[in-house]
Chains A and B, each alone.
Chain A
Amino acid sequence: MSQLIDYTCYLGDNALILGHRNSEWCGHGPVLEQDIAITNISLDLIGQARNFYQYTASLKGGDTTEDTLAYHRDAAGFRNVLLAEQPRGDWAYTIMRQFLFSSWQHLLYTSLQHSSDTQLAAIAAKALKEVTYHQRWSAEWVVRLGDGTQLSHEKINTALQSMWPLTAELFVPAAFELAAPAIDPKTLQQPWHAQVAEVFREAELTLPAAVDGNSDGKNGAHTAYLETLLQEMQYLPRTFPNATW
């Protein structure tokens, strides 16, 4: 049971932390339509996080709720991959991360929707429809920037090079991913590479060589960026406990 709790929390944490990062673009997008697009993606991700957290809370029982999971845990209690917590960077960085993340999430949810755990399967089937749009939107932007001007190509390539080592963690299993209903992340690696490579060909980007990684984020060992993100995100409920609208 504790493995399943960790796993559902892990799925929620990835969605919440990237959702929060993307929400930082609200009012700052390069053009209005894309400001709306990236914040809609945030909303989808935060909605997915709520579904996973509600399930986690029902498994844990006691006083745990979706809100205590989101707002009253310290960084070391979060299990999201390090890729999700990195600062939003420039538009190219946000786009590249979204594409690499959504491509992975799409494969993960595609497997998870057939899970023997019916609640995980239901959340994944619902979320998969949303992630399909995220993946296509971000893939189109990767091509637009990669196959755009010299400057846009440089920016998206710089983003790719800087985050590529962090993608390894997506496929390194943590203890809670070793048994069903968790999906073995190693099974997602080859199809993920193939999809990413296809888009990079269109975008005239070179697929970097595979790198080794560890599962630091999944085990609660985060970069300092998560601390600052949580300070912002958790400020209100920590300063005014039990505040309601």
Chain B
Amino acid sequence: MVPDKKTIWSLLSAITDPEIPVLSITDLGIVRDVQIDGEDVEVIITPTYSGCPAMDVIASGIRLELEGRGYGKIAVTQVLSPAWTTDWMTETGKEKLKAYGIAPPQPQRHTCTPGLFATADAVPCPQCGSWHTKLLSEFGSTACKALYQCQDCKEPFDYFKCH
């Protein structure tokens, strides 16, 4: 089958992150490019974190999906530069995260240019919307998240931290 970029991108947008299954890899902004050379397809992805254990699963997910659709030679290449940033997450992705109960990265990047003892990000609760929340730990259930608790509805929640 002769690949075209638009179709490949739309197939990629159906592949989800294994750790946050409501987000597709295009929502996350980790697909940087699709290169087509004759019948060969190269998908270029970038990791969210150096040690992200989801990357290998995502790479094989891409290969399986495209091979299953009958495309010939599939290469998944990982590049590090430019380094992924939460700014590349789409607005749709941020909405999906919030609906899933994870606070999306805040546009005001307090922690991205931190000194020591910088104050924690102010993050609204994804359940009740209150800004009366507290950082419990810089590190949450995965390396890309921090753990917060809402002081009003008392729910603990993950925050996809600014990066």
Contacts and interface: CB of A to CB of B under 8 A. Distances in A.
Interface of A: 33-34, 36-37, 40-41, 43-48, 50-51, 118-119, 121-123, 125-127, 129-130, 132-133, 135-137, 139-140, 195, 198-199, 202
B117 A44 contact: no
B163 interface: yes
Contacts of A51: 50, 80
Given A33-B147, A37-B137, A122-B81, A50 B50 contact: yes
Given A47-B47, A51-B80, 16 more contacts: A40-B139, A43-B51, A44-B49, A46-B51, A47-B50, A47-B51, A48-B51, A118-B81, A122-B81, A122-B83, A133-B139, A133-B161, A136-B118, A136-B138, A137-B138, A139-B116
Contacts of A36: 137, 139-141, 147
Interface of B: 47, 49-53, 79-84, 111-112, 114, 116-118, 136-143, 147, 161, 163
A40 B143 contact: yes
A132 B51 CA distance: 15
B139 A41 contact: yes
Nearest to B85: A129
A135 B163 CA distance: 15
Contacts of B52: 47
Contacts of A118: 81
Please give me the 3 A-B residue pairs with the lowest Cβ-Cβ distance, nearest first.
Answer: A47-B51, A47-B50, A122-B81
